């Protein structure tokens, strides 16, 4: 075997059956990513003799005598970037960056004709973060990024600091490291939805060459915990064991095999002999609440924090403001219907995984793809009785999260193996395992009833919500409570009532997902209000505008008013105005015979979770006059690293390139709750702001004393303190401090309260072919009230990505469960993620507001764009067709069937040959 890789020759023969992707990664070319191992996502794209191939499908032996180029080899030998790499940097055509190498390699091979048809050119590449528009801009040579020069940093389109590493393949994700003496773990999973393990024999598995250990429930700690990660663990039920003798869904882990190779570990899994006692299972949440249904968790309610274990209710909320009975009695029109939303997979291109080892100080070190490294460390210490100083958790660059990595799904079992074997151990989920062994978005059933007077004033709003949390209650109660919060509070109604249930079933567990329940309930509420307006012969948008909450008003939900939640800035009226304007502007003509309609939806979301969300930051002056910023929040395409540098640069009167950021490492700062609930800017950013301001004060105080000048005569400038007599460089200032034992370092802290709210509005104009069910989006407009927008380019990317992901959930994404409780859609090609050709260019508008709570006036904008998309689309579809669709996804066949059965539909005559 002789193969040239990026100009270097290699002669090692591949392992039998080895694909080119693993062959390249084994030799240190970590820019080649694993996203699917099925040729579906394109993250592993490389060039073989100049032609792009999916290296996960390309047998390594076929590269014999050929030249292979990975993303690391695109740049010139002198380090000059390839033109495509430069374009992606200029346009910032990435967020988490996990897919970027694949897009770069595909783009670099396109000829002029292919560049004219990007939907076809990119049919083999997937991106979950960007919504593809930034990628299109990169290919077209559009430049969005500004040079990081002097001046105010906040509010500018400054590029992500890791950008050069992302486009050259040098950014290091979880498994992009070499670890000596590494062992590999594979998991044996349950084939049954509900069963008790009566016997388990590992003898044959241990005889497989290379297998070192097999762990079963006999090896696991007895204590129960929750895989969900929250600042306060009591928010979630303790219903999970590392390995259990009872399995509660198809795909639950039964045993863990650790071996020298993945192949040996997989063979070991096949040879573990398990005897099961099959138990009755319940898959439907309504059935699960009925008397006599199989009990999923027969545990003590108080100690496990389960509301009603005997009824499979893990959490519930009941409340009423006023009297909905009286409210409906005084209404001139009442609308009631039941809405259903489906399971959706997070589909982050980097799968769940962790690698752990003991470092030179005999500390357990866990490197993991996690949004919550500090909370994961806390959970591991509690589970294995370890002191926190003996455990270090590190998140490298994370390849997408969307809430799915606000869980501890792999770290616990990897830690168990390392603690027992004292060897480094790696566990990396396959794409199939992501579907049946990770978590999904909660499926919801929402019965909504709304009433209003003839003048358009709401009189009553009532919800009955049932959320299917699956076999374990991680995030179940919290998602349920959140779902009926802002979705009801955003509208004024004197009478409101809610009954909500989070219910166990013997299905794959649900968990945190972008929007955290609001998107599901808003689909129902916004659709119902649209329908009620039509009953009253009112314009739906104006009807909603008449009833939305106003500035300074109390946010009332039957679940209870959250005292620390405030409307600290108000831009919802501006959002409505953007939609009004879009409706009056010219639009693309639809094909002849197609039905055209428009629809809008409004949304409100809290800028952080209730109960506190802690962030600490530390800012320090370095000897060279630069600055070090240590923050705990993880970077997974959310852009917090860029924003934190901008905040610090503004407070320290420097440029962002002079600020080094260290993050996502429990050895770096005291504590950070995690990068979830849209808190990266509004919570961690506020900690950064406070640390930077405190450091600036330290520098000016010391400089004034050192120069024997009044503090008012000194001011910070780029690389110096200016004063009437000249300038004192920051290098000189650091040296002067060191001479007297003074370190220039300052801490910043924010506890996540009080909180504000962010607002969004989405509007679509769509065209529908009544004879086929095909839908085309003629125009997509999104209005976002993000307060002071710290980085418009990045924030626009968050909105575009949120809209694109929500369109996937609206139109086709669906984790299907068969009659046995098994996931049927355990591959991208069966699941149907949005591709380049599916996503329109959404026009993003930012409102002019400044928040009184958020740092420098900013509000959150990672989750909120997702929430109004499905109802806006459903309302546009209703406007076009006259049919109210109450179940997601709005697949083409579902639309066609509904129209075919609609009395309004008249099929077009067949075309004569």
CA neighbor of 337 nearest in space, from 436, 432, 464, 229: 464
**What is the rounded CA–CA span in Å between residue 879 and residue 544?**
16
Mean per-residue pLDDT, 695-722: 96
pLDDT of 376-414, one tens digit each? 999 999 999 999 999 999 998 999 999 999 999 999 999
Angle, vertex CA 244, rays to CA 240 and CA 253, nearest 5 = 90
For the cut 70, the answer to whether the pLDDT of residue 308 exceeds it is yes
pLDDT at 138: 98
CA neighbor of 567 nearest in space, from 322, 795, 788, 859: 859
For the cut 70, the answer to whether the pLDDT of residue 904 exceeds it is no
For the cut 50, the answer to whether the pLDDT of residue 911 exceeds it is no
User: Whole-model pTM above 0.85?
Assistant: yes
DSSP string, 95-110: SS-TTHHHHHHHHHT-
Listed in sequence order, the DSSP H helices in 109-154 are 112-115, 118-121, 133-140
Which DSSP state fits 312? Answer: T
Listed in sequence order, the DSSP H helices in 404-503 are 411-421, 431-436, 476-483, 486-489
pLDDT of 550-560, one tens digit each? 998 999 899 77
pLDDT at 668: 87
pLDDT at 909: 55
Q: Is there a contact between 119 and 84 (Cβ–Cβ < 8 Å)?
A: no
Q: State percent of the chain over pLDDT 90.
A: 94
Mean per-residue pLDDT, 876-903: 95
* Alpha-carbon torsion angle 701, 702, 708, 711, nearest 10: -20
**What is the rounded CA–CA span in Å between residue 144 and residue 21?**
33
Band (79; pLDDT cuts 50, 70, 90): confident
How do 627-631 and 757-768 pair as beta strands? unpaired
For the cut 80, the answer to whether the pLDDT of residue 257 exceeds it is yes
Mean per-residue pLDDT, 724-753: 97
Q: Is there a contact between 311 and 490 (Cβ–Cβ < 8 Å)?
A: no
Q: Which two tokens stand for residue 2?
A: 């002789």
**What is the rounded CA–CA span in Å between residue 311 and residue 565?**
33
pLDDT at 666: 93
Mean per-residue pLDDT, 26-52: 97
Band (910; pLDDT cuts 50, 70, 90): low
- Give 69 or 632, the one with higher predicted confidence: 69
Q: Which two tokens stand for residue 593?
A: 């015979």
Beta bridge partners of 381: none
pLDDT at 894: 96
**Poorest-confidence range of 141-145, 611-615, 846-850?**
611-615
CB neighbours of residue 115 within 10 Å: 12
Q: Which two tokens stand for residue 281?
A: 């299972």
Alpha-carbon distances of 656 from 152, 209, 651, 743, rounded to whole Å: 10, 53, 11, 22
């Amino acid at each position: 075997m002789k193969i040239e890789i990026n100009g270097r020759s290699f002669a090692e023969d591949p392992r039998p059956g080895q694909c080119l992707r693993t062959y390249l990664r084994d030799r240190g070319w970590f820019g080649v990513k694993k996203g699917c191992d099925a040729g579906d996502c394109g993250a592993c794209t490389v060039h073989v003799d100049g032609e792009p191939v999916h290296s996960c499908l390309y047998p390594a032996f076929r590269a014999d005598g050929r030249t292979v180029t990975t993303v690391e080899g695109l740049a010139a030998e002198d380090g000059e970037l390839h033109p495509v790499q430069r374009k992606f940097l200029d346009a910032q055509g990435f967020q988490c960056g996990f897919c970027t190498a694949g897009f770069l390699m595909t783009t670099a091979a396109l000829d002029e004709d292919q560049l004219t048809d990007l939907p076809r050119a990119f049919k083999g590449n997937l991106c979950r973060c960007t919504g593809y528009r930034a990628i299109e801009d990169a290919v077209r040579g559009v430049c969005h990024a500004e040079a990081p020069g002097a001046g105010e940093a906040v509010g500018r389109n400054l590029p992500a600091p890791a950008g050069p590493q992302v486009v050259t393949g040098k950014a290091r994700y979880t498994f992009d490291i070499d670890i000596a003496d590494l062992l590999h773990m594979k998991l044996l999973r349950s084939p049954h939805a509900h069963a008790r393990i009566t016997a388990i024999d590992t003898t044959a598995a241990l005889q497989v060459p290379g297998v070192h250990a097999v762990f079963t429930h006999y090896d696991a700690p007895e204590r129960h915990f929750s895989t969900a990660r929250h600042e306060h663990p009591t928010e979630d039920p303790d219903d999970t064991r590392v390995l259990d003798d009872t399995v509660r869904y198809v795909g639950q882990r039964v045993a863990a095999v650790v071996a020298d190779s993945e192949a040996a570990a997989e063979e070991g899994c096949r040879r573990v002999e398990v005897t099961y006692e099959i138990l009755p299972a319940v898959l439907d949440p309504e059935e699960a609440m009925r008397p006599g249904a199989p009990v999923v968790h027969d545990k003590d309610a108080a100690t496990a924090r389960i509301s009603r274990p005997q009824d499979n209710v893990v959490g519930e909320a009941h409340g009423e403001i006023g009297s909905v009975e009286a409210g409906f009695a005084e209404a001139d029109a009442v609308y009631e219907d039941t809405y259903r939303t489906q399971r959706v997979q997070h589909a982050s291109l980097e799968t769940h995984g962790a690698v752990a080892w003991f470092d030179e100080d005999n500390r357990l070190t866990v490197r993991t793809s996690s949004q919550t490294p500090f909370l994961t460390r806390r959970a591991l210490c509690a589970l294995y009785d370890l002191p926190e100083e003996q455990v270090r958790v590190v998140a490298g660059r994370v390849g997408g999260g969307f809430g799915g990595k606000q869980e501890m799904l792999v770290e616990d079992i990897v830690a168990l193996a390392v603690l027992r074997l004292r060897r480094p151990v790696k566990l990396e989920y396959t794409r199939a395992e992501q579907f049946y062994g990770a978590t999904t978005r909660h499926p919801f059933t929402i019965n909504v009833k709304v009433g209003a007077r003839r003048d358009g004033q709401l009189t009553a709003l009532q919800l009955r919500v049932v959320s299917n949390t699956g076999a374990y209650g991680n995030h179940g109660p919290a998602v349920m409570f959140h779902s009926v919060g802002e979705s009801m509070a955003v509208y004024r109604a004197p009478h409101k009532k809610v009954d909500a249930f989070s219910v166990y079933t013997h299905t794959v567990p649900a968990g945190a997902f972008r929007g955290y329940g609001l998107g599901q309930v808003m689909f129902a509420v916004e659709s119902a209000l649209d329908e009620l307006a039509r009953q009253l012969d009112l314009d739906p948008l104006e009807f909603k505008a008449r009833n939305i909450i106003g500035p300074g008003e109390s946010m009332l939900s039957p679940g209870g008013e959250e005292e620390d939640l405030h409307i600290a800035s108000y831009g919802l009226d501006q959002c409505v105005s953007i939609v009004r304007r879009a409706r009056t502007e010219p639009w693309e003509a639809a094909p002849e015979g197609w039905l055209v309609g428009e629809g809008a939806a409004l949304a409100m979301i809290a800028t952080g979770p209730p109960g506190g969300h802690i962030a600490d930051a530390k800012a320090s002056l370095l000897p060279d006059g630069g600055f070090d910023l240590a923050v705990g929040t993880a970077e997974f395409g959310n852009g917090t690293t860029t924003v934190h540098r901008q905040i610090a640069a503004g407070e320290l009167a420097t440029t962002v390139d002079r600020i080094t950021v260290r993050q996502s490492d429990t050895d770096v700062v005291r504590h950070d709750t995690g990068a979830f609930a849209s808190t990266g800017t509004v919570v961690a950013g506020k900690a950064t702001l406070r640390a930077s301001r405190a450091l600036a004060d330290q520098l000016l105080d010391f400089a004034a004393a050192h120069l024997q000048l009044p503090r008012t005569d000194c001011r910070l400038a780029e690389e110096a303190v200016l004063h009437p007599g000249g300038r004192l460089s920051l290098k000189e200032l650091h040296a002067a401090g060191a001479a007297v034992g003074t370190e220039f370092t300052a801490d910043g802290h924010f506890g996540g309260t009080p909180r504000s709210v962010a607002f969004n509005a989405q509007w679509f104009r769509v065209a529908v072919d009544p004879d086929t069910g095909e839908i085309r989006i003629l125009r997509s407009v999104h209005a976002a009230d993000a307060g002071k927008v710290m980085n418009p380019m990045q924030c626009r990317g968050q909105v575009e990505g949120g809209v694109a992901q929500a369109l996937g959930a609206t139109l086709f994404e669906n984790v299907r469960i068969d009659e046995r409780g098994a996931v049927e859609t355990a591959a991208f090609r069966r699941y149907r993620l949005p591709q380049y050709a599916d996503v329109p260019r959404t026009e993003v508008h930012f409102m002019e507001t400044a928040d009184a709570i958020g740092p420098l006036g900013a509000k959150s904008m990672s989750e909120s764009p997702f929430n109004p998309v499905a109802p806006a689309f459903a309302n546009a579809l209703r406007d076009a067709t006259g049919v109210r669709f109450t179940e997601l996804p709005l697949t083409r066949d579902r639309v066609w069937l509904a129209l075919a059965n609609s009395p309004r539909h008249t099929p077009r005559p067949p075309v004569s040959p």
